[in-house]
């Protein structure tokens, strides 16, 4: 069972470059999320989606864009990367029921030089 | 603003010792979850507590939700090296709102 798959696993960018992180889930989940994880700050929500074709801002959305064209995929874009976006990015998905159990991918480690 | 503060931030103990991790907030949560994250992996759900005062046990791990639903604790008895990891609490403010707020995390190292 694949669950939630993130690509790529690692990436190094130069300041100003752009890139897209892909998240794919095979559990038919309605809800999908993008988080960033920084030391001592836990996980912070960037953007989320409550269904195909919908997106919403989370706690730290600036500098990121997302798209959910297909139910199983959730893309996170960085249009002009900045060193402050160096982080580990996690995608998660859930059924959308009460108590919201989230299933996470293995993460993408991004460094912006 | 971090709604959920965890303490301690780091903990290094010997195998066989007991420990408690705390998750505190000034806000009320409809439910609270505990996740464990191992290096290079995403968090994995351990337990969800819903009712104020609720206690759940998972083998050597005991989870408690505060009576006022503002805080929670995780107690590990006779810690094992396999318990090593980052422990994260996560609270759902409004039931069914489908967003949770994660705590700051507690990094646990159990030395054999």
Is a pLDDT exceeding 90 seen at residue B22? yes
Of A92, A81, A78, which is closest to residue A34 (Cα–Cα)? Answer: A92
DSSP helix, strand, coil percent of chain B (3-state; round to 5)? 5, 50, 45
Per-residue pLDDT of B31-45, as tens digits, reads 899 999 998 999 999
Contacts with A61 from chain B: Cβ below 8 Å = none
For residues A101 and B37, what is the distance between their CA atoms, to the nearest angstrom? Answer: 15
Decide the pairing of beta strands A10-13 and A108-112.
Answer: parallel
Token reading at A54: 């919908």
Distances (CA, A) of A32 to A9, A58, B80, B98: 18, 12, 33, 10
Cβ–Cβ < 8 Å for A47, A66: yes
What are the residues of chain A with a beta carbon less than 8 Å away from any beta carbon of chain B? 4, 31, 35, 40-45, 48, 50, 58, 90, 92, 94, 96, 98-102, 104-107
Is a pLDDT exceeding 60 seen at residue B92? yes
The pLDDT score that the predictor gives to residue B97 is: 60
Nearest CA in chain B to A102: B45
- In this structure, the dihedral spanned by the alpha carbons of residues B56, B2, A38 and B20, taken in order and rounded to 10 degrees, is -30
Per-residue pLDDT of B53-78, as tens digits, reads 999 999 999 999 999 999 999 999 99
Preceding peptide of B34 cis, ω within 30°: no
Cβ–Cβ < 8 Å for A64, A77: yes
Predicted confidence pLDDT, tens digits, chain A (113 residues): 679 999 999 999 999 999 999 999 999 999 999 999 998 788 999 999 999 999 999 989 999 999 999 999 999 999 999 999 999 999 999 987 666 789 999 999 999 99
The pLDDT score that the predictor gives to residue B9 is: 94
Is a pLDDT exceeding 90 seen at residue B84? yes
Q: In the A/B pair of chains, how many CB contacts fall below 8 A?
A: 62
């Amino acid at each position: 069972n694949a669950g939630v798959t993130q690509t790529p696993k690692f990436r190094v960018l130069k300041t100003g470059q752009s890139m897209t992180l892909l998240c794919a889930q095979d559990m038919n989940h309605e809800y999908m999320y993008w988080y960033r994880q920084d030391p001592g700050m836990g996980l912070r929500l960037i953007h989320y989606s409550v269904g195909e074709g919908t997106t919403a801002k989370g706690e730290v959305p600036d500098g990121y864009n997302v798209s959910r064209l297909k139910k199983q995929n959730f893309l996170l874009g960085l249009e002009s990367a900045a060193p402050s976006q160096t982080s580990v990015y996690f995608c998660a998905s859930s059924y959308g029921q009460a108590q919201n159990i989230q299933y996470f991918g293995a993460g993408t480690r991004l460094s912006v030089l | 603003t971090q709604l959920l503060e965890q303490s301690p931030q780091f903990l290094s103990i010997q195998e066989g010792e007991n420990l408690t991790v705390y998750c505190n907030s000034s806000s009320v949560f409809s439910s609270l979850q505990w996740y464990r994250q191992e290096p290079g992996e995403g968090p994995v759900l351990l337990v969800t507590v819903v009712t104020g005062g609720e206690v759940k046990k998972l083998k050597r791990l005991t989870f408690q939700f505060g009576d006022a639903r503002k805080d929670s604790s995780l107690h590990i008895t006779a810690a094992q090296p396999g318990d090593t990891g980052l422990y994260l609490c996560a609270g759902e403010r409004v039931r069914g709102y489908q967003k949770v707020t994660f705590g700051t995390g507690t990094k646990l190292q159990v030395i054999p």
